[in-house]
Structure 1
Amino acid sequence: MADGVPDGPAERSTGGVATDTAGPSGVGGGAGDTAGPAGGGGDGAAGVTRSAARALRAVPVPLALIAMISLAGAVLGRVYAGPLLSWLVLGAAVGSVLVSVAARRLPSWLVAPVSVLAMVGWTAWSLRLTATRAELPGGLAEVTADAAANGIPRLLTAMIPVEPTPDTVLVPLVAGWLAGLAGAEVAMRAGRVLLGYLPPVLLYAAALYVVGPNADPAIGPTLALAAVAVLGLAVPARGAAGADAAAGLAPAVRAAVRARLAAASAAGLVVVLGMVALIAPLVAGQVDGRPVDPRRYVEPPQVETLDENPLIRISGWALNPGQQLFDVRTQRSGPPDSTPAPDPGPDAGPGAAGRPVPVRLAVLSDYDGVTWRVGATYRNAGRILPVTAPAPDSIVETVRQEITVAGLSGRLLPAVATPRQVTGARVAYDPTTGTLIRPEGLTPGLRYSVTSALETPDANLLATADVPAGEEVARVLRVADGVPDPLRRLAAQLAESNGAPYARAAAVEQFLAEHYRLVADAPSGHAYPNLNFFLFGPRNAGGQRGTSEQFAAAFAVLGRLTGLPTRVVVGFRAASDGPVRAGDAYAWPEVLFEGLGWVPFDPLPRPDEEPRPVEEDLRPAPEDPPPSEVPEPTVEPTVSPEPVAAPDGPADAGPSTALLVGGGTGGMLLLVVAALLALLLMRRALTRARLERGDPGQRIAGAWREVTDALRLAGHPVGRDLSASEVAARARAVLPVEADVEELAGLVNQTAFAPGTASAEQAARAVATAGDYVAALRAARPWWRRLLWSVCPGPLRWPR
């Protein structure tokens, strides 16, 4: 120290003398903060420079926090409809961080209340904005209370893309604001930048978890998050840039401090590298893994029994036909109303031209032999519902309806198929069946609007259309165990002379419409015993009569027994405008055709036709063996002459009539038995030749022919246009058994496209699989079909 001026930056520690002043020559001795002409200008410029440097050093950390929270909002916004959520989260990030920056001179205990007040204002504005855009009824207080009570479960059960509504944006907004508040306070006030990054990083991880497998991997945003964090750490939040923390200390102390800092830095680097070495392989191994979907842990909205099976409500509605259920106002646009709709049955079905558009209540796809059920998985949805591609060969018409609920109860919302937009009510939606529910339940006076895309298939293509097969339609092809034998015989009889799918469906529709009576007082029920009594019960005991419940359920079951994918729909015959009453409720079946979608059928009888007795067209069950039809001998009404005795002994009367008849009958029976035995031996020889002779490829092909012949014998022939995989899927739908028919189909494809590659072991597996499936399929047939199975001559003459 020279002339009383301290060396270096320790001037503040001199003994009570203010040394920040400079005289004319820059040496302390002036008054206050004045500066002489030689040194004042330099000190002023330096002060400005220091202020600018401090401002620049204060910017990177807040910007990094804002960017990290915004990236979390962008990642979560990938499952939302539109960019609104991302912008709202960005506003929460900017607001929370700027409030902390502006209030940094306030006491720490005062910053949180100020920031929370600002959060309440931003959240209230955001909730009002989203409620207005979603056209939700109710005031701000009601909407906010509902969002606060149900925000998390609705967010995790919402249908993707999620519409930004108060209950789906509240949680991300609050979480983003709190992450910004906590990060800013820790990073800027406490100076722990790395620790301050923890809340935004946790928010980002939570966004990734909520998105799960419902969006592409967020590789770009994750790399951007890491880059922003590195840039924020590169600039210190405190102190001068490049300042030495040990400057101004005694040399010995300064050396010790620098040594400790270097050791701490080296230890921290070693720890970081070690963690990277341990965690990096685990993280790299999860790159190609499928994230966990948190939605599987949250139970979606549920319905009661009446909503799961509204088919049982038809009988009750039929007994009180005047009850008003709801009111409807309809507007139609798109193709002109004169466009002809398909005629799926006599006199047209539910979708026929010139009739009002039916309002659908529920679609029932699952049947266990007792109850038809919707079997839907509902997801909370916004106004805009997911769009499924319409059938390529159908005409799409836009139908908008305004519905006001009156006496209809439950949670199911009536709507024309297929709904695309709903306003005025919060709904949950199942895209597989197209069924809508209101989780809170229906209330009198509830008014909502539905815009639907009504598909009308091209009637000219129905006659040649095929039906799909495979796992995607196994649900609507499944036939539960316990089918009564008369139902199987009737289905086989209707399908026997109708090879095309549409012809089989029309045959079932016509049979039901011609032989059964529609009544309003029939008891409810559509289990196998109920359907068996409806179809074959005596008329004088209440059989052969029912409501649309029995007609639709019987059609769907008979259709599945003939290989048609079917389902049952419950709805209403609604006029374009006016009230819809309980008497308008009815059920109808639908059949799925390739390229045409679901086509409705109408098996109900015509009002002016008297049903014919079922016995006129239903063949009785065959007996086994069939009785021999040998005609009785004809006795002439003349008197035989008296026999004349021979001169040498008694007259030879010849063989008696009884002996002749007995001999003829016995010979006929012997011929029948011999023919059956010959057919049995020929069938067994054919099976042995297929399964035991030739190379492995030939044995695999023979096993495959055994399976296709068995399907044909069981009444489920497969077309030549089907691939092996499609045939296997149909076989699995006909009879789900443990036999791996799909593996057999794969071996057939291998044999066809790579001859000579099959092994003996594969051939043995193919033979075993075919044997198991054929045995199970035969065991599921009626007893008389099992007896005729082995002697049917069809496999001997069917072309290969």
Structure 2
Amino acid sequence: MADRPATQRPVPPAGSASGGVGKGSLWSELPLAVVLVVLVGLAGVVLGRMYAGSLLTGLVVGAAIGSVLLGVACRRLPSWLVAPLSVLGLAAWTVWSLRLAADRADLPGPLTEVAGEAARNGIPRLLTAMIPVEPTPDTVLVPVVAAWLAGLAAGEVALRAGRVLLGYLPPVLLYAGAVYLVGPNAAPAVRPTLVFVAVAALGLALPGRVRPGGADHVAGLPPKVRAAARIRLAGVSTAGVAVVVALAVLLGPALAARIGDRPVDPRRYVEPPRVDSLDENPLIRISGWALHPEQKLLDVTTRSGGDADQGGDATRIRLAVLSDYDGVTWQVGATYRNAGRILPAPAVAPGSIVEPVRQDITVAGLTGRLLPAVATPREVTGARVAYDPATGTLIHPEGLTPGLRYTVTSAQEQPESNLLAIADVPAGEEVARVLRVADGVPEPLRRLASQLAESGGAPYTRAAAVEQFLAEHYRLVADAPSGHAYPNLAFFLFGPRDAGGQRGTSEQFAAAFAVLGRLTGLPTRVVVGFRPSGDGPVRAGDAYAWPEVLFDELGWVPFDPLPRPDTEPRPVEEGLRPPPEEPPSPAPEPGADPTVSPQASGAPETAAGPGGRSTPVLLVGGAAAGGGLVLLALLVTLLWLRRALSRGRLDRGPPGERVGGAWREVTDALRLAGHPATGDLAATEIAVLARDVLVDARGAGAEPAAVEVAELADLLNRAAFAPGTLTAQQANRAATIAQAYVAGLRATRPWWRRLLWSVHPGPLRRDRADRRRRDARV
């Protein structure tokens, strides 16, 4: 009898819920589709942290919804037809996104031009844009397209092919790319990452999915084949688990050790927009503009702010800021980042008056890339710009063309003039760039700077002395040759007048002020811009340069060393003439008794007051005594305030505040010793700096106090990250370390600096500024 064939399970028809792959009912596909939408949308949430507003996040989430749901709706169509339909959906969503972004950013021009510009420059502008990035067409195009493609790929693999884990790969890559692109420009994305992992796990646990190679497929095979398939599945699963465990063991410690590291910023690998060679040193253009004063460069209309009667500062338009000087040329040296319409808000000095200025500017004959604006610009419409926050200047990356029209709104800051006389200037690495004096300074310049510095000790007094000297002794002319290298400045300052010396344009006045200021210890820079008389044309004759000096808590303050109109300069020799020497005492006449006073020999006596002293002598003596008492009272008051500040820092408050107070005592001591710690240094790095300063000053004998500062830095870090764990004994230890270090560092100073150490008002001012900042944050 013939063997009966084995009973075989019926094969479900193609497309049925039990036999098809990824082609079940809509309700069975919808949960996993929602999971994929959330995974792709979370990439937009992470990337949106470095964008201004929520537009970018909404556009990415919309792309995720559109791409995944379009795949679900087309699940019964052939796969070769889904891709073209999704591309059409991508095109429609992208065009709508670009139009919305262009309208929000108020960008002019037709949509085709805006889209073409975004397609050509989307990636470089995204990597060079200023943080926070404004969602403009060229900064939203790449994220939107990437999100749509990730959703399309994830839907096809996970929903149609049934490979859920493999379908997670596009959202994971998109999410990782968003995290990398943000880098250190936002806080760590801890919550979005946890949500991403949780949603991904939920998607894997969803029931009802039929996948190739699953349990149902194996059950329909003959027993021998089924056993072999199960063995292969077990082997593959075991190998997969082993690979995962091995990777966790090998890479886990390395990844855990890098959790606290600062992420890499991908922007450092991309060159930001730069100025061209014409704008690298715009100071040399002053002389050429002065020779053609009627050339029209701009048209300016001021619509709000700015009073033209404030000495010219309200209408002073800034073109470039020059901070680097190598002894030959002043250069821009700025780092520009592509910016949107809204620019970062600058820090405002305490007590300063901020006045908004809004101007419509049309370019006429001005060339280059530097874009003029009143300092400090806050909003620019009508032109694509790149911005340097350090100098507050703008460039138009595509270059200026006649007819370019834009509107700029600026926050013009006027520092409190009453604080200038007592303001200090910063020192240290953070301002080394604007204090640097290149080698090769002519000796006459050094002597002149020393003489001007002797006229006053306060920084503002020194700056005013340089300003007054240049304004009183030199002549402003339009036909002076260009040049501001050391030989040019030496000829301008000391050359004979009949040979063309002691005369120049604002180029030489500003450059000479900046160099002399740096030689006297002032952080200076040169600014090139325009000073128009009012609304209307800005001509070449309105261009000029001026110097600025950086003061603590006041920012950059402009000075004007140009001579007043219709004034005759004084001879330079008069300003450089040394003070007259005391005349020698006359020799006694022959026959006169040197022991007899002039009054005894018949000279008339002056009118004497009570006690035999003249009235002028009494007045002078009384004024000197009164001034001495006032000075003594001031010194005693400063001494008492300084000691009260130290006692409050070291002896009062909870342990964490006392440790912080001890650390401020150390940083104040470093500043008083001329080695201020910059704000970008960590506590451990400042401790190394403090150790090196003390060791260099005292040698090996300072080793104990220098090394203990590292212990104080550890206590400070503990106070910052675990404030409730510090004890009173640790706070006392911190106070002891600070007192020992301050005493050791103070002992290395000259005797007169040790006398001034305890009455210097700098720590009091900084403590007051810190309190104001804390109150403002609260």
TM-score by length of 2: 0.74
Inter-partner Cα distance in structure 2 for 1:603 and 1:534? 14
Inter-partner Cα distance in structure 1 for 2:76 and 2:189? 38
Q: Any idea what SS the aligned residue of 1:506 has?
A: helix
The offset of 1:520, in angstroms, is 0.1
Task: Give the 5 Å matches for 1:637-676.
Answer: none
The offset of 1:279, in angstroms, is 2.6
The offset of 1:746, in angstroms, is 4.1
Instruction: Quote the residue 2:256 is aligned against.
Output: 284
Write out per-residue CA displacement over residues 469-519 of structure 1, whole angstroms, 9 at most, x where no aligned residue: 222222111111111111111111111121111111111111101100000
The offset of 1:727, in angstroms, is 4.9
Q: Any idea what SS the aligned residue of 1:62 has?
A: helix
Instruction: Quote the residue 2:41 is aligned against.
Output: 70
Counterpart code for 2:95: A
Write out per-residue CA displacement over residues 423-448 of structure 1, whole angstroms, 9 at most, x where no aligned residue: 00000000000110000000111100
Structure 1 residue ranges without an equivalent (≥5): 19-45, 342-347, 637-719, 734-739, 760-765, 775-792
Amino-acid identity (%): 68
Instruction: Quote the residue 2:506 is aligned against.
Output: 548
The answer to whether residue 209 in structure 2 is matched with residue 238 in structure 1 is: yes
Inter-partner Cα distance in structure 2 for 1:203 and 1:722? 45
Among 245, 248, 271, the residue aligned to 1:299: 271
The offset of 1:756, in angstroms, is 6.8
The offset of 1:53, in angstroms, is 8.8
The answer to whether residue 303 in structure 2 is matched with residue 331 in structure 1 is: yes
Change (3 A) 1:418 1:121: same
Inter-partner Cα distance in structure 1 for 2:483 and 2:294? 23
Instruction: Quote the residue 2:107 is aligned against.
Output: 136
Q: Any idea what SS the aligned residue of 1:453 has?
A: strand
Instruction: Quote the residue 1:375 is aligned against.
Output: 333
Inter-partner Cα distance in structure 1 for 2:170 and 2:756? 73
Check whether the contact 1:555–1:589 (CA below 8 A) recurs between aligned residues.
yes
Inter-partner Cα distance in structure 1 for 2:362 and 2:336? 22
Write out per-residue CA displacement over residues 21-69 of structure 1, whole angstroms, 9 at most, x where no aligned residue: xxxxxxxxxxxxxxxxxxxxxxxxx99xxx9995443223222221111
Task: Give the 5 Å matches for 1:168-207.
Answer: 168-207=139-178
Q: Any idea what SS the aligned residue of 1:326 has?
A: strand
Write out per-residue CA displacement over residues 669-703 of structure 1, whole angstroms, 9 at most, x where no aligned residue: xxxxxxxxxxxxxxxxxxxxxxxxxxxxxxxxxxx
**Higher deviation after alignment, 285-294 or 487-496:** 285-294
Task: Give the 5 Å matches for 1:516-535.
Answer: 516-535=474-493
Task: Give the 5 Å matches for 1:569-588.
Answer: 569-588=527-546
Instruction: Quote the residue 1:608 is aligned against.
Output: 566
Q: Any idea what SS the aligned residue of 2:159 has?
A: helix
Instruction: Quote the residue 1:88 is aligned against.
Output: 59
Check whether the contact 1:75–1:218 (CA below 8 A) recurs between aligned residues.
yes
Instruction: Quote the residue 1:725 is aligned against.
Output: 670
The answer to whether residue 314 in structure 2 is matched with residue 314 in structure 1 is: no
The answer to whether residue 320 in structure 2 is matched with residue 362 in structure 1 is: yes
Instruction: Quote the residue 2:127 is aligned against.
Output: 156
The offset of 1:131, in angstroms, is 0.7
Change (3 A) 1:537 1:621: farther
Check whether the contact 1:725–1:746 (CA below 8 A) recurs between aligned residues.
no
The answer to whether residue 399 in structure 2 is matched with residue 441 in structure 1 is: yes
Write out per-residue CA displacement over residues 149-168 of structure 1, whole angstroms, 9 at most, x where no aligned residue: 11111000000000000100
Check whether the contact 1:728–1:741 (CA below 8 A) recurs between aligned residues.
no
Counterpart code for 1:76: L
Inter-partner Cα distance in structure 2 for 1:107 and 1:797? 87
**Higher deviation after alignment, 240-249 or 431-440:** 240-249
Q: Any idea what SS the aligned residue of 2:371 has?
A: coil
The offset of 1:725, in angstroms, is 2.1
TM-score by length of 1: 0.72
Write out per-residue CA displacement over residues 605-627 of structure 1, whole angstroms, 9 at most, x where no aligned residue: 111210011011214799xxx9x
Check whether the contact 1:556–1:567 (CA below 8 A) recurs between aligned residues.
yes
Q: Any idea what SS the aligned residue of 1:617 has?
A: helix
Check whether the contact 1:58–1:237 (CA below 8 A) recurs between aligned residues.
no
Change (3 A) 1:243 1:426: same
Change (3 A) 1:12 1:234: closer
Deviation beyond 6 Å, 4+ runs, structure 1: 240-243, 628-634, 730-733, 748-751, 793-800
Inter-partner Cα distance in structure 1 for 2:136 and 2:753? 67
Inter-partner Cα distance in structure 2 for 1:461 and 1:471? 25
Q: Any idea what SS the aligned residue of 1:522 has?
A: coil
Task: Give the 5 Å matches for 1:335-734.
Answer: 337=307, 350-351=312-313, 356-619=314-577, 723-727=668-672, 729=674
Check whether the contact 1:57–1:235 (CA below 8 A) recurs between aligned residues.
no
Check whether the contact 2:23–2:75 (CA below 8 A) recurs between aligned residues.
no
Counterpart code for 2:50: V
Instruction: Quote the residue 1:10 is aligned against.
Output: 9
Change (3 A) 1:121 1:67: same
Check whether the contact 2:296–2:365 (CA below 8 A) recurs between aligned residues.
yes
Check whether the contact 1:566–1:592 (CA below 8 A) recurs between aligned residues.
yes
Inter-partner Cα distance in structure 2 for 1:98 and 1:52? 14
Change (3 A) 1:258 1:629: same
Change (3 A) 1:618 1:744: farther
Counterpart code for 2:423: A
Q: Any idea what SS the aligned residue of 2:343 has?
A: coil
Counterpart code for 1:597: G
Q: Any idea what SS the aligned residue of 1:454 has?
A: strand
Inter-partner Cα distance in structure 1 for 2:555 and 2:46? 36
Inter-partner Cα distance in structure 1 for 2:404 and 2:675? 45
The offset of 1:246, in angstroms, is 3.7
Check whether the contact 1:396–1:453 (CA below 8 A) recurs between aligned residues.
yes
Inter-partner Cα distance in structure 2 for 1:205 and 1:732? 36
Counterpart code for 1:535: L
Inter-partner Cα distance in structure 2 for 1:553 and 1:68? 58
Q: Any idea what SS the aligned residue of 1:206 has?
A: helix
Counterpart code for 2:538: V
Check whether the contact 1:183–1:198 (CA below 8 A) recurs between aligned residues.
yes
Inter-partner Cα distance in structure 2 for 1:10 and 1:795? 103
Among 122, 132, 142, the residue aligned to 2:93: 122
Write out per-residue CA displacement over residues 516-537 of structure 1, whole angstroms, 9 at most, x where no aligned residue: 0000000001111110000000
Check whether the contact 1:729–1:742 (CA below 8 A) recurs between aligned residues.
no
The offset of 1:282, in angstroms, is 2.5
